[in-house]
Amino acid sequence: MKYEDHIKEREARSPALRAAYDEALEELAFARQLIRARAAAGLTQTELAERVSMKQPNIARLEGGTYQPSVATLQRLAEALNVRFEVTAESGLRILQPVGVRG
């Protein structure tokens, strides 16, 4: 049995496992968006860290999904990356399009 099939079978038997998996994906969604925003700005982790008065390992933790930013950190990131953040009950924390860019 393939690993993916095994996981699907376990998820079908355990709604709690599926819920935990979905929650983990949601938490990592912000990390993936942050990486894309940093790359779109043409910045390395070190360059972004300098712009937001943080150390590079802290940026790595944010991008790894192991650290949740404070509101103050989000404000500094938004300014450095020229983006806006949105926090909702439905979608959690997410990055909106760069400021001034229409999709």
The answer to whether residue 90 is domain-embedded is yes
Residue 61 lies in a domain: yes
Q: Is residue 103 part of a domain?
A: no
66, part of any domain = yes
Q: Is residue 100 part of a domain?
A: no
Q: Is the pLDDT of residue 100 over 60?
A: no
Does some domain include residue 101?
no
15-66 pLDDT, tens digit each: 887 787 777 777 788 889 999 999 999 999 999 999 999 999 999 999 998 8
Rounded CA gap, 51 and 62, in Å? 15
pTM of the model: 0.70
Within a domain: residue 71?
Answer: yes
The predicted model gives 63-84 an average pLDDT of: 91
Residue 102, in any domain of the structure? no
Structural domain count of the chain = 1
CA nearest to 94, candidates 26, 12, 11: 26
Expressed as residue numbers, the domain containing 49 is 3-95
Give the Cα separation of 54 and 45 in Å (integer): 10
pLDDT higher than threshold 70 for residue 103? no
